[in-house]
Chain A
């Protein structure tokens, strides 16, 4: 009963004009971003950070999540109608979504995706509401060694899951960790890598680096590509009704996608993208008619789209309960909360419970808003997809410039943003993932504190970590994962040899 009353209190808090407007704005902008190829949800969330500053942390969190969530909804629109994914988590939707469109079932596909996303989002929020306080309470017993071990495991998984070449992911994490050491060390106020510069004493701020890496580098990347005007298939409201067979076939894939997506969201890395691939392959594997996949199977559209929505909610759990972001958008949220002097983690549920419960309540509302917004306006959103980058890029560029400057009235920050943008462009070209860099930058201070406190606790004797069962388990998992990664090619080769010899 207590849980219900604090949730109702959360609803009461979220029903303020500011929070409702923030929720709607976030959802609308997120949908637009999802529709428009080029600018992803992370870049948009970073760009919106300065605009959340005049309001409270809850309002900021609601707006940020609205953007992330809305992008998942919007991404499917262009995937189905234009065969161009609005963002990475909608790539899989193109396969069967566009085929459905060619068969004149685009409206049905989009309606089922919207309803499926709503169901998945609601299930994800339920999961978050249930698991987050439990894990938060469990995490209260975490000491520095546990946090350090958890961070090491997260870095190992992150470098392997977010990059084609794990070494590139690992080096990006290390670079992010290094950047976080610039400035005064908070533990002993010792200046590091400042070279006498007063500006560097304060450290490198997260915002300009993130806007540069995600905003400016995307802007430059789109500016350098040749633009091909997409052909958008028109859609009318009456075409949105799916037939009974399509509805029947989408029920279980929606539920499976929702559950799967939620648990994939708990993993480090681009969880929304991974969840769509895993969900699609699962549906194909268990389908009685796998040959229909790629030909316009409704299961291949609704399951991944449901999965990416619930993955968003799943990924909020490590952020809110441990203060550890596993994906780039949640790293932005962590930075945003810190700008409001709110530190997510086990203590969040005791020090700022209103933040969590108002956020949960607002997400229910946001999910409903997105459903109402997406179904009737799907045609309008599709037309937005044809806005040319020649118009969009200049507008986004100057918003980045003024937005970053306005936070601290610092031209130095703008220089940092431009440098990060140009470097980010080349990193993308060379297939270095930028998300681990940002996560490393955000988690750097926590990692250093955990390491130093652990060493002080153990008085330098790191072997004492065996006395901490949770720490040693987490480290063992990291080692096991690395051992598997290193030996996987050997196992694959042995398997191939056996096949060649006819033993398998």
Chain B
């Protein structure tokens, strides 16, 4: 029986929560705790940070006690996640420059290929249809002025 390492990504997340909770409390103290009668701007976030830190300590303890776990993502899934996220990021970076219609078309096509939609015709049809729908929805129905970029 293969035993997964005890120290996994979720444990890192619990440590991150602990760190975050402590940082929030320390920074909040700096904003001015005030007193219970005259609460300062830091009082409430101080308690919220302390709560996060306390909860994460208990989470860490139960996490380290638990025996084995499956990895969250295998190689194939990790690749899909990275490609999906990269497409999202590319849309954000390219949209103000090239305009929302062409970038949406390319992004939809990219999503289709990442999702392994077979061939070229189907992805082109889906991306073309989606870009047209988005254009009609935002331009003609909602009258929202979105960046048209150098191509617009």
B-contacting residues of A (Cβ < 8 Å)? 51, 54, 165, 167-168, 170-171, 174-175, 177-178, 181, 185, 187-188, 190, 192-193, 216, 219-220, 223-224, 388-391, 393-395, 397-399, 401-402, 405-406, 409, 411, 414-415, 418, 421-422, 425-426, 429-430, 447-448, 451-452, 455-456, 459-462
Q: Is B4 an interface residue when CB atoms closer than 8 A count as contact?
A: no
A224-B88 contact, Cβ under 8 Å, with A171-B59, A185-B41, A451-B44: no
Contact A406 B111 (CB under 8 A): no
A461 to B37, CA, bound (A): 7
Please name the residue on chain B nearest to A451 by beta carbon: B44
Q: Number of B residues whose C-beta is below 8 Å from A?
A: 65
Q: Is B98 an interface residue when CB atoms closer than 8 A count as contact?
A: no
Contact B142 A398 (CB under 8 A): no
Contact B48 A178 (CB under 8 A): yes
Contact B55 A171 (CB under 8 A): yes
Identify the 3 closest CB pairs spanning chains A and B, nearest first: A460-B37, A460-B36, A394-B111
A165, A175, A390, A422: the one within 8 Å of B112 (CB): A390
What per-residue 1/0 map shows which CB atoms of B55-98 lie under 8 Å from chain A? 11011001000000000110001001100110111011001100
Not counting A224-B77, A401-B107, A460-B38, a sample of 20 additional A-B residue pairs whose C-beta atoms are within 8 angstroms of each other reads: A167-B55, A178-B20, A178-B48, A181-B45, A192-B28, A193-B27, A223-B80, A223-B81, A223-B84, A391-B112, A391-B122, A394-B127, A397-B108, A398-B130, A409-B146, A414-B92, A430-B10, A452-B44, A460-B35, A460-B36
Q: How far is the CB of A46 from chain B (nearest CB, A)?
A: 17
Say what secondary structure dominates the interface of chain A.
Answer: helix
A401-B91 contact, Cβ under 8 Å, with A394-B127, A455-B37: yes
Q: How far is the CB of A240 from chain B (nearest CB, A)?
A: 33
**Chain B residues in 8 Å Cβ range of A393:** 111, 115
Contact B92 A398 (CB under 8 A): no
Q: How far is the CB of A407 from chain B (nearest CB, A)?
A: 9
Please name the residue on chain A nearest to B110 by beta carbon: A394
Please name the residue on chain A nearest to B35 by beta carbon: A460
**Chain A residues in 8 Å Cβ range of B84:** 219-220, 223, 397
Contact A175 B44 (CB under 8 A): no
Please name the residue on chain B nearest to A400 by beta carbon: B88
B28, B36, B100, B111: the one within 8 Å of A402 (CB): B100
Contact B73 A224 (CB under 8 A): yes
What per-residue 1/0 map shows which CB atoms of B13-47 lie under 8 Å from chain A? 10001001100100110011001111101111100
**Chain B residues in 8 Å Cβ range of A411:** 92, 95-96
Contact A395 B126 (CB under 8 A): yes
**Chain A residues in 8 Å Cβ range of B77:** 224
A223-B52 contact, Cβ under 8 Å, with A168-B59, A171-B17, A430-B72: no
B52, B81, B112, B143: the one within 8 Å of A220 (CB): B81
